[in-house]
Structure 1
Amino acid sequence: MSLAARWIRPLMVVTAVGFAGAAYAIRAALDGPVEQYSGAALSAAIVYTIVIFIRPPLSSLAAGAAAIAYCWFIEFAQLTPVPEALSQRGWIVRQLLGARFDPVDVAWYPVGVVPLVAAHWFFRARARSQAEPTPVEL
């Protein structure tokens, strides 16, 4: 197991905490559309880190697709009364499920995931190229 493979899960935990901290800092400092849109993008970024935490060998594209699909599933579930009813049970549930459908959030989830997919792909490609032996010249 490579050093990078050993550190991927702790790195995802730290990254998720950083994204959550950024989201709450923006919420505390700003009000309006920036708060709302950044919250959607950062929550999708957190979901991406959770996907990688659960399944580190997953490709960046598959992890990104899974994160966006999950976010969209939760958002569209808010068209039913279930998430709002469950959200009244506690703060954590509200953070996880939301309460009301917002079509703008549907567009902002990929904004939070696509840069992570690109970075993940870049670092994985770089690690692969460094792991490949260089040909010996005669």
Structure 2
Amino acid sequence: MAHLLIAEARFYGHLNDMLLAGARAAIEAAGHTHETVTVPGSLELPGTFALASETDRFDAFVGLGVVIRGETWHFEIVAGESARGLMALTMDGVAVGNGILTVENEAQAIARADPAQGDKGGDAAKAALALLALKKRFASA
């Protein structure tokens, strides 16, 4: 049984509730456990996982958040740099599922976050578990 850390950038609470429900359901359905922490925004997700990965408490990580395009470059910075940070951790051998939605509007976010529709929170949890399974497989080979 694996223990996962779900970190949520809770900028849009109603959207995060859906992402979180999907992630928790996927982890529990696979027979694993989880803890959840809240961070200020998506840019803080990679740093949270970097800190947590230095402990032996967690086997894998799931990052959840929603970035909706606005009128400034902030969208591009947050979307690109948070994804880059999560990918860097993955390249270092940390099992991370990226559940940060980058969308044009709230309707797109709902369609992707809702467990009955896109279930991207569940998909992110499943991705983290898949990477963890590969890590264990490669370690035992």
Shorter chain as denominator, the TM-score bin is: 0.3 to 0.5
User: As a proportion of its length, which structure holds more strand?
Assistant: 2
User: As a proportion of its length, which structure holds more helix?
Assistant: 1
Higher Cα Rg: structure 1 or 2?
1
Larger RCO: Structure 1 or Structure 2 (Cα < 8 Å, ≥ 6 residues apart)? 2
TM-score by length of 2: 0.32
